[in-house]
Amino acid sequence: MAMTGLQAQKIRGVDKSPLDFAVFRPDGQGTTPVARIIYSRPAVNGRTIFGGLVPFGKIWRTGANQSTELNLLRDITIGGDTLRAGNYTIYTIPGEKEWTIIINSALYTWGAYDYDESKDVFRFRVPAKQTEKLHEHFGIAFAGEDGKGKLLLAWAHTEVYVDFAY
């Protein structure tokens, strides 16, 4: 049965900031993950990113398009505080030497436009590292084992690492 109004010619091209995800599965393939992050990956495209396109000291959606989504399947500990298993959004406030990471309970929001500070669950600060390497596309990755994990946020010449226990 054909759907009216739907044609192959109507399928749009690849998004300028494609959707991606990172999964932290320290016990191996086929096991329940500790966490998953769903986000969009904007590109540098010759622009000044931090301190330019993304101003220092202002709330950022931590990617592009819909707000970055964190799904925790286990409790984790960051800096001695526990973040319970559940679904959250991640916002950040980039600084030259330090970033504020914000875990927020509002889901399915569009960028930082819908950010509501009253729904913050968890806030903490981490150092920002300047690198020689250019990360053309914003990226998020996990690493870890034996109860200790690390989350990496990287774009342009900036890397931010978040240590956690699970």
Residue 52 carries which side chain, given as an amino acid letter? G
What percent of the chain has a predicted confidence (pLDDT) above 70?
A: 95
Asked whether residue 8 carries a pLDDT value surpassing 70, the answer given is no
Asked whether residue 74 carries a pLDDT value surpassing 80, the answer given is yes
Name the token pair of 105: 């309970």
| 58, 105, 112, 151, 162 from 141: Cα distances, Å | 23, 22, 22, 6, 11
Q: What is the mean pLDDT of residues 56-70?
A: 97
What percent of the chain has a predicted confidence (pLDDT) above 90?
A: 89
DSSP track, 102-161: EEE---S-BTTTT--GGGEEEEEEEEEEEEEEEEEEEEEEEEEETTEEEEEEEEEEEEEE
Asked whether residue 3 carries a pLDDT value surpassing 60, the answer given is no
Residue 129: pLDDT band with limits 50, 70, 90:
very high
Q: What is the pLDDT of residues 23-48, one digit of tens each?
A: 999 999 999 999 999 999 999 999 99
Buried b (16+ CB within 10 A) or exposed e, 63-74: bbbbbbbbbbbe
Asked whether residue 4 carries a pLDDT value surpassing 90, the answer given is no
Q: What is the mean pLDDT of residues 123-133?
A: 97
At residue 6, the pLDDT reads: 59
Rounded Cα distance between 3 and 65, Å, is 28
Q: Bigger pLDDT: 131 or 3?
A: 131
Q: Is 22 helix (H, G, I), strand (E, B) or coil?
A: strand
